[in-house]
Amino acid sequence: MPILLKVEWVGHAEAVDGSRRVVFIGGNWAGSRWRHTAENAVTYIDAKSFSYYIQSQGRPMNLIVATNGNGAKQLATREDTVLLQHLLAMPEPPVLAA
């Protein structure tokens, strides 16, 4: 049974073509912060080690492994119909105090 984690923030970067891509996801679990790279999260979902969800539009949306136009695996929600609209709308990670 995979560990269920709520994604509370998403780190993203601008791609060469001007689109945005997910670099990492993160949140809080059992009193600790966690952060997984997008590549590791894809591997964890495929291996059924972790499952992830976001809260969007007042309801939970599970993250899935999707294939982009280049054939590469990426994170998405089933509800994402245009360029990861729900996932990339998540807030950026909080700044940690030094």
Comparing C-alpha atoms, which of 19, 25, 21, 35 is closest to residue 72? 21
The span from the CA of 63 to the CA of 9, in Å, is 13
- Is position 98 within any domain? no
Q: Report the 10 Å Cβ neighbour count for 44.
A: 18
Q: Provide Rg for the chain, Cα atoms.
A: 13
- Is position 94 within any domain? no
Predicted pLDDT of residue 88: 86
Question: Of residues 96 and 73, which shows the higher confidence score?
Answer: 73
What is the pLDDT confidence band of residue 25, given thresholds at 50, 70 and 90? very high
Decide if 27 contacts 8 (C-beta within 8 A).
yes
Q: What is the pTM of this model?
A: 0.86
Question: Of residues 80 and 42, which shows the higher confidence score?
Answer: 42
Domains held by the chain: number: 1
- Is position 50 within any domain? yes
Domain that holds residue 63: 3-77
| Residue 84 CB partners (closer than 8 Å, separation 6+) | 20, 22, 74, 75, 76, 77
* Token pair recorded at residue 39: 């590549």
What is the pLDDT confidence band of residue 37, given thresholds at 50, 70 and 90? very high
- Is position 12 within any domain? yes
Q: pLDDT digits over 81-93, tens only?
A: 667 788 888 999 8
Predicted pLDDT of residue 31: 86
The amino acid occupying position 91 is P
